[in-house]
């Protein structure tokens, strides 16, 4: 072999080793060591050499993740060690019963140590490594036989093409879950809508569909990840003696494992872990549908053995299902504060996401057309955390013959005014304005809400009563309510009525940002109201500003500027403000601060994850009060990222770019340091 060829091979080997190291740091450790540009430079250098010398390409090269020519079909492969299912627990008692069965079989009363892992909602996969090199990837299939999807798994960054380090068995089967993070799923569906192609129902379906592409070049473009959770076949080497130690071995050999995994010394600690992860669930960067508990000692696992389809030493304690199938009984149309006409699905009640659901949003006309949904259809309902339940798909196989199309109204269902759809908008709106009773009710509810005028005791149901009984017709009427009339309302007495009137009286003294927000100007949220108040100082200055001046304010673009200017130009709105002033509503004008004078002026912040003290919108408002720009994504221009539990790709990106990252307590300290009392 010539010296030049030997040197070339050494160069290729060095490049591959360096790229493998960077892949491991990025995908497994979430701790990138170099910027994307440097990684791309190394990758392109290796790719160019291999293009000139294709005979030197090996299956474990980092360049082989791009996908190969399409297959006509997947081959069936047999699992030498069956991939069994897990038994499920649905209550604390189920889990305690499992623990009792384990102890009874082991003839012991001593507490068992369990490995605890989030159960990712993806697709189970088997990866065979021979002498440290990936040989085969296969789906679980029926547990005995799966599909050979080697070409597809090679494209996934968290699947090692070659194991790191040493000490691994000659033959090692690694098992794990391939899943799609939430951020990647949303971006994939967003692009699909733009392309007019298939929109996936949930991240699990998206991951499964991506893995089963016959063209692995498509799979290569999908945001898939692997999390290892166990081993199967092992030959020519020894593994650790506990499950958690095995996972640490896999991590050292290049596999991503779940950061939230833990050990529990007893079944009661398992229950505490289940509750803790249940609270974190909605803030995680990926979907989980339960917790898997496994006897940690592998010798005890062998002693416990298996039943026909599942191990006796493991169980999955499922969370309440986030998706269920039910029947769409009817569709009603609700009118919101800004006149938006929203279709609401009336459902046969179904238990989903921990609550009984009988209504779900259908968003707008475009969404109804995209779903192809009809009244009478069986539909899949999804509810995650506090998110409003939504219809995500139709079970077409169950469509009855008498299913009828959903017809969007031409006239407002409340006031009869024409319903219009503005070009470029998906939302249809009632044109009746405040002559529409529904819009008046919603405007009053918004005015009284906690973040607006914060009128204690004035809830949504009471607003409905006051309007229906014709005691009020607008927010101004709140300040002239009669004690006797209010006390005569259903479920109201003299004391409750007096408390309400006291709450209304106390609301007269407010702040300029709260008052601006309370007015309900379209697209003006709490943060924008605060920015307007700080930038212009008075309501008079805001009302007098034209769209060009408004657009010079941070966080105000042309659309928002148009809505603000239009609102203050309308005579009825000017009369409303004057009437509120005459009723005694007042606030202090603010000293106008130039953005450049604010302590965080010129700095860009990103907020990600779930904060405990306040919402992301509140965090954004505080940052903007200090002059910062709050962005939705991390870039080289980002100064700092504020993180809470469940921070995912944004945190990874920040670490990759070397951007400062602070937790919630550090953020609170920052705000207090600038005089904001939180």
Q: What is the DSSP string of 111-169?
A: PPPEEEEEEESSEEEEEEEETTEEEEEEE-TTSSEEEB-HHHHTT-TTS-SB--SS---
Q: 28 or 671, which is more confident? A: 671
For residue 21, pLDDT beyond 90 = no
Mean pLDDT of 609-629: 80
Which H or E element spans position 176?
Answer: strand 171-179
Convert the pLDDT of each residue in 308-320 to its tens digit: 678 999 999 988 7
The CATH number for 433-506, chosen from 1.10.10.10, 3.20.19.10, 1.10.357.10, 1.10.150.20, is 1.10.150.20
- Other Cβ atoms less than 10 A from the Cβ of 210: the count is 24
Burial class (CB in 10 A: 0-12, 13-18, 19+), 202: buried
pLDDT at 465: 93
Q: Give me the CATH topology for the region 3-65.
A: Helix Hairpins (1.10.287)
Catalytic residues: 119
Q: Give the rounded percent of residues in the chain with a pLDDT score beyond 90.
A: 49
Convert the pLDDT of each residue in 621-643 to its tens digit: 788 878 888 888 888 889 999 98
Give the model's confidence band at 70: pLDDT under 50 very low, under 70 low, under 90 confident, else very high: low
Q: 455 or 49, which is more confident? A: 455
Convert the pLDDT of each residue in 483-532 to its tens digit: 999 999 988 889 999 999 999 999 999 999 999 999 999 889 887 888 89
For residue 30, pLDDT beyond 60 = no
pLDDT at 38: 66
Indicate if the alpha-carbon torsion angle 432, 438, 444, 447 is positive or negative.
negative
- Average the pLDDT over each of 64-78, 499-513, 517-531, 564-578 and give the range with the smallest value: 64-78
Q: Average pLDDT of the chain?
A: 87
Which H or E element spans position 335?
Answer: strand 323-335
Q: What is the dihedral of CA 41, 45, 50, 52, to 10 degrees?
A: 130
Give the model's confidence band at 35: pLDDT under 50 very low, under 70 low, under 90 confident, else very high: low
Mean pLDDT of 163-178: 94
Convert the pLDDT of each residue in 109-136 to its tens digit: 999 999 999 999 888 999 999 999 999 9
For residue 386, pLDDT beyond 70 = no
Convert the pLDDT of each residue in 533-550 to its tens digit: 888 999 999 999 999 999
Indicate if the alpha-carbon torsion angle 644, 645, 649, 655 is positive or negative.
positive
pLDDT at 110: 93
Mean pLDDT of 148-161: 92
Provide CB contacts within 8 A for 677, sequence distance 6+.
none
Mean pLDDT of 139-165: 89
Domain 512-582 falls under CATH 1.10.150.20: yes
Mean pLDDT of 644-665: 84
pTM above 0.75, yes or no: no
Question: Is 512-582 in the same CATH topology as 433-506?
Answer: yes
- Other Cβ atoms less than 10 A from the Cβ of 182: the count is 20
- Average the pLDDT over each of 1-15, 285-299, 556-570 and give the range with the smallest value: 1-15
For residue 616, pLDDT beyond 90 = no
For residue 68, pLDDT beyond 70 = no
Convert the pLDDT of each residue in 425-459 to its tens digit: 778 999 888 789 999 999 999 999 988 999 999 99
Mean pLDDT of 392-411: 91
Q: Give the architecture (CATH level 2) of 87-318.
A: 2-Layer Sandwich (3.30)
Domain spans in the chain, listed from the N-terminal domain onward: 3-65, 87-318, 323-421, 433-506, 512-582, 595-673
Tokens of 260: 């939230």
* Rounded distance between C-alpha atoms, residue 584 and residue 573, angstroms: 17
Mean pLDDT of 345-355: 86
Give the model's confidence band at 28: pLDDT under 50 very low, under 70 low, under 90 confident, else very high: low
pLDDT at 202: 78
For residue 644, pLDDT beyond 60 = yes
Give the model's confidence band at 250: pLDDT under 50 very low, under 70 low, under 90 confident, else very high: very high
Q: 56 or 153, which is more confident? A: 153
Q: How far apart are the first and last CA of the chain?
A: 71
* Rounded distance between C-alpha atoms, residue 585 and residue 453, angstroms: 10
For residue 327, pLDDT beyond 80 = yes
Q: Give me the CATH topology for the region 595-673.
A: Rossmann fold (3.40.50)
Mean pLDDT of 384-410: 85
pLDDT at 356: 86
Mean pLDDT of 49-57: 84
For residue 33, pLDDT beyond 70 = no
Superfamily of domain covering 323-421: Nucleic acid-binding proteins (2.40.50.140)
* Rounded distance between C-alpha atoms, residue 508 and residue 476, angstroms: 11
Q: Give the rounded percent of residues in the chain with a pLDDT score beyond 70.
A: 94
pLDDT at 72: 65
């Amino acid at each position: 072999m010539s010296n030049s060829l030997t040197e070339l091979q050494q160069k290729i080997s060095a490049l591959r080793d360096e790229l493998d190291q960077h892949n491991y740091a990025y995908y497994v450790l979430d701790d990138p060591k170099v910027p994307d540009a440097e990684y791309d430079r190394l990758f392109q250098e290796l790719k160019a050499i291999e293009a000139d010398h294709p005979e030197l390409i090996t299956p474990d090269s980092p360049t082989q993740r791009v996908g190969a020519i399409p297959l006509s079909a997947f081959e069936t492969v047999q699992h030498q060690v069956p991939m069994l299912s897990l038994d499920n627990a649905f209550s604390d008692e189920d889990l305690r019963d499992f623990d009792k069965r384990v102890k009874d079989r082991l003839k012991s009363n001593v507490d068992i140590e369990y490995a605890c892992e989030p159960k990712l909602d993806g697709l189970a996969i088997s990866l065979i490594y021979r002498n440290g090199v990936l040989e085969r990837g296969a789906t679980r299939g029926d547990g005995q036989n799966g599909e050979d999807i080697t070409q597809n798994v090679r494209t996934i960054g968290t699947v090692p093409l070659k194991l790191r380090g040493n000490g691994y068995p000659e033959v090692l089967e690694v098992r794990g879950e391939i899943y799609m993070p939430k951020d990647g799923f949303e971006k994939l569906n967003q692009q699909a809508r733009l392309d007019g192609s298939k929109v996936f129902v949930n991240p699990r379906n998206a991951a499964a569909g991506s893995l089963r592409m016959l063209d692995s070049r498509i799979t290569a473009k999908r945001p898939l990840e692997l999390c290892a959770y166990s081993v199967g076949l092992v030959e020519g080497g020894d593994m650790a003696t506990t499950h958690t130690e095995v996972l640490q071995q896999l991590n050292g050999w290049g596999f991503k494992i779940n950061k939230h995994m833990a050990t529990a010394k007893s079944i009661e600690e398992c229950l505490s872990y289940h509750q803790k992860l249940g609270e974190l669930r909605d803030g995680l960067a990926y979907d989980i549908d339960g917790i898997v508990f496994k006897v940690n000692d592998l010798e005890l696992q062998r002693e416990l053995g298996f039943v026909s389809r599942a191990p006796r030493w493991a169980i999955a304690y499922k969370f309440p299902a986030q998706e269920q199938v039910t029947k769409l009984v009817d569709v009603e149309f609700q009118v919101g504060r800004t006149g938006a006409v929203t279709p609401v699905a009336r459902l046969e009640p179904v238990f989903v996401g921990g609550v009984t659901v009988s209504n779900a949003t259908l968003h707008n006309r475009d969404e109804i057309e995209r779903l192809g949904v009809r009244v009478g259809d069986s539909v899949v309902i999804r509810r995650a955390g506090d998110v409003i339940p939504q219809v995500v798909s139709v079970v077409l196989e169950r469509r009855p013959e008498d299913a009828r199309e959903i017809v969007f109204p031409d006239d407002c269902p409340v006031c009869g005014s024409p319903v219009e759809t503005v070009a470029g908008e998906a939302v249809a709106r009632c044109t009746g304005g405040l002559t529409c009773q529904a819009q008046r009710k919603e405007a009053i509810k918004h005015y009284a809400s906690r973040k607006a005028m914060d009128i204690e005791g004035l809830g949504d149901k009471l607003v409905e009563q006051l309007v229906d009984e014709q005691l009020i017709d607008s927010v101004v009427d709140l300040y002239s309510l009669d004690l006797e009339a209010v006390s005569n309302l259903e479920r109201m007495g003299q004391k409750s009525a007096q408390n309400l009137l006291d709450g209304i009286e106390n609301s007269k003294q407010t702040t300029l940002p709260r008052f601006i927000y309370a007015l309900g100007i379209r697209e003006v949220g709490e943060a924008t109201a605060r920015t307007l108040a700080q930038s212009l100082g008075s309501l008079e200055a805001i009302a007098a500003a034209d769209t060009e001046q408004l657009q010079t304010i941070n966080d105000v673009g042309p659309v928002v500027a148009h809505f603000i200017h239009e609102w203050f130009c309308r005579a009825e709105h000017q009369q409303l403000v004057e009437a509120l002033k005459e009723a005694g509503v007042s606030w202090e004008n603010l000293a106008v601060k130039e953005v450049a004078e604010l302590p965080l002026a010129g700095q860009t912040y990103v907020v990600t994850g779930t904060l405990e003290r306040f919402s992301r919108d509140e965090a954004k408002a505080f940052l903007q009060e200090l002059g910062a720009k709050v962005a939705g994504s991390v870039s080289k221009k980002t100064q700092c990222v504020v993180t809470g539990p469940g921070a995912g790709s944004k945190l990874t990106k920040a670490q990759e770019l070397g951007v400062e990252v602070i937790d919630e307590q550090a953020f609170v300290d920052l705000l207090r340091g600038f005089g904001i009392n939180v």
